[in-house]
Amino acid sequence: MIPVFAYYSVRVSTDDAQIDGHVIPISSRISGNVLQVMINDNQQVRAGESLVKLDPADYRVAVSQAQAQLSSSQADITQNEQNIPITSINTSSQVSTSTTQEQQARAGVAVSEQAIDAARARVASSNAALAQAQSNFVKSQKDLARSKDLVTKDEISRQDYDAAIATADANAAMVEGARADVLGAQHALDQSIAQLDQAKAQLEGAIIQRKQSQNTLRNQVAIVRARLKQSNAAVQGRQADLEQANLNLDYTVIKAPIDGVASRKTAEPGMQVTAGQQLMALIPLDDIWVTANYKETQLKKMRVGQRVEIEVDTYGSSRRYKGHVDSIAAASGAKFNLLPPENATGNYVKVVQRVPVKIVLEPGENRDHSLLPGMSVTPTVLLNSDINNPQQQQ
């Protein structure tokens, strides 16, 4: 009895255990008709191997449309790039023309101002000449009056009197001529003032035109640059659409993401599938482990890294597999149930809980892929075995 007790005291086992592994769902990322199914149920496949082909016709058309739209957007960029210098040259020419017109208007204002100064000088000169003529006329009239008295008294000759009359008439004519000159000079001054006003109006119009041309230059160039940015953004969007179209075309061939065995195949030729619809499952038999639900009373001496002997119900005791404790769950299995137990209700019945323990096979133990997920096993943990986890050794 003692050897038997010593043997079983350092071993804990459970028949509540099974092989676990990854079950990878294979689904379509796009909608379409199944054109061809490349594999059968339970067939071994390699990573990258084609599993299902969808009809690519619609997605090829989408790629062509995306390429055409991208080409159109790229043409818009070329056009807008060419429009920038053209717009700049045209609007710069308008600015240059309006600047020249402004300079000409300023010169016209200066000429008009000089003409006004000359006209004012002429008016002043004409007024002075008129004053001089009027003074001479008044003097000649007085001389004529005296000559008339003297000729009546025969103190001067008739010839002298006639000369006085001629002088008075000449001075009168000179007064009329001087008045005409004053009127002409004043008229010329009025014309010069009117021309100055017209020149100033032209200058104001030229200044406004020049400012408008400058604003137009800035606005037109800014608009063309904005269109160029918009075209660049459109090209980026079209490139993204083309990339997505190419991806969708690539998605018409569904490939295996990893090595594994295909199972639960539902895809059939001619079948209409939608995005996200599962077509089969892929089970990688190179990555399996044992999930053993040990009683909580069996965990007292169990540690990560302890060796494990695994007996599979399928093969019986004729073959045992080797492994080691990889990890112990952080809670009992009951805590993960949809309705976990509530022991605070008053109807408490103590039940020994089971805690999941993950056991990993040693390298090469399942080289022949004889262990399949779901198989029932009986793992036995050797409590007195070496602990490989350095943290546990400390």
pLDDT (tens digit per residue) in 314-335: 998 888 999 999 999 998 888 7
CA distance 218 to 107: 28
DSSP state of 303: -
Cα diameter, the chain: 197
Q: What is the mean pLDDT of residues 19-29?
A: 94
Residue with tokens 């009197």: 161
Please say if the pLDDT value at position 384 is more than 70.
Answer: yes
Task: Name the residue with higher pLDDT: 82 or 368.
Answer: 368
pLDDT of 11 higher than 60: yes
pLDDT-above-70 percentage for the chain: 88
Least confident of 135-144, 146-155, 274-283: 146-155
Tell which phi-psi region holds residue 353, choosing left (phi > 0), alpha (psi between -120 and 50) or beta. beta
The pLDDT of residue 246 is above 70: yes
CATH architecture of the domain with residue range 23-55+253-283: Beta Barrel (2.40)
The residue type of 119 is: A
Q: What is the pLDDT, as a whole number, of residue 12?
A: 94
- 20 pLDDT more than 50: yes
Asked whether residue 2 carries a pLDDT value surpassing 60, the answer given is: no
Please give the Cα distance from 218 to 252 (Å, whole number): 51
Average pLDDT of the chain, as a whole number: 84
Q: What is the mean pLDDT of residues 211-217?
A: 70
Asked if 52 and 34 count as a contact pair (C-beta separation under 8 A), the reply is yes
Are 253 and 50 spatial neighbours (Cβ–Cβ below 8 Å)? yes
* Span of 65-69, 302-306, 383-387 with lowest mean pLDDT: 383-387
Token representation of residue 105 = 């208007």
Query: Are 198 and 116 contacting, i.e. CB atoms less than 8 angstroms apart?
Result: no
* Among 41-50, 139-148, 155-164, the range of highest mean pLDDT: 41-50
CATH node for 60-248? 1.10.287
pLDDT confidence tier of residue 251, bands split at 50, 70 and 90: very high
Can you give the pLDDT at residue 229? 82
- β-sheet bridge partners, residue 32: 273
- What tokens appear for 384 in the block? 């007195």
Query: Would you give the distance in Å from CA 71 to the centre of its chain?
Result: 19
Instruction: Give the neighbor-by-neighbor strand order of the sheet with 50-54.
Output: 253-255, 50-54, 32-37, 272-273
Residue 219 in contact with residue 95, Cβ under 8 Å?
no
More confident residue, 357 or 149: 357
pLDDT (0 to 100) of residue 373:
94
Q: How far apart are CA 176 and CA 178, in angstroms?
A: 5
Higher pLDDT, 388 or 201: 201
The CB-side HSE value for 181 (13 A sphere, CA atoms) comes to 20
Q: How far is CA 113 from CA 117, 127, 317, in A?
A: 6, 21, 125
- Of residues 36 and 113, more confidence is placed in 36
Q: Which CATH number fits domain 6-22+285-394: 2.40.30.170, 3.20.20.370, 3.50.50.60, 3.40.190.80?
A: 2.40.30.170
Can you give the pLDDT at residue 376?
96
- The answer to whether residue 132 scores a pLDDT higher than 90 is no
Cα(59)–Cα(335) distance, rounded to whole angstroms? 48
Residue 286, classed as helix, strand or coil, is coil
Tokens of 47: 């990573």
Q: Is the pLDDT of residue 144 over 60?
A: yes
Which of residues 232 and 63 earns the better pLDDT score? 63
Q: How confident is the model at residue 394 (pLDDT cuts 50, 70, 90)?
A: very low
**Does residue 42 or residue 95 have the better pLDDT?**
42
Residue 393: is its pLDDT beyond 50? Answer: no
For 221, the token pair is 């160039």
Rounded average pLDDT over 305-313 = 94
Domain map (residue ranges) of the chain: 6-22+285-394, 23-55+253-283, 60-248
Helix residue spans in 46-157 (DSSP H)? 57-152
pLDDT of residue 35: 95
> Between the ranges 108-112, 133-137, 342-346, 353-357, where is the mean pLDDT highest?
353-357
- 379 with 308: CB under 8 angstroms? yes
Question: Looking at this protein, which amino acid is placed at residue 269?
Answer: P
Q: Above 70 in pLDDT, residue 194?
A: yes
Confidence bin at 38 (pLDDT 50/70/90): very high
Q: How far, CA to CA in Å, does 97 sit from each of 17, 212, 215, 228, 333?
A: 94, 12, 14, 28, 90
Looking at the predicted structure, is the pLDDT value of residue 6 above 60? Answer: no
Of 97, 71, 95, the C-alpha closest to 221 is 95
User: Tell me, what's the pLDDT at 345?
Assistant: 65
Phi and psi (nearest 5°) for 292?
-110, 125
How far is Cα 244 from Cα 66, in angstroms, rounded to an integer?
9
Looking at residues 236-242, what average pLDDT do you find?
91
Q: Cα–Cα–Cα angle for 246, 249, 251, nearest 5°?
A: 110
Amino acid identity, residue 194?
A: A
In this prediction, residue 391 carries a pLDDT of 40
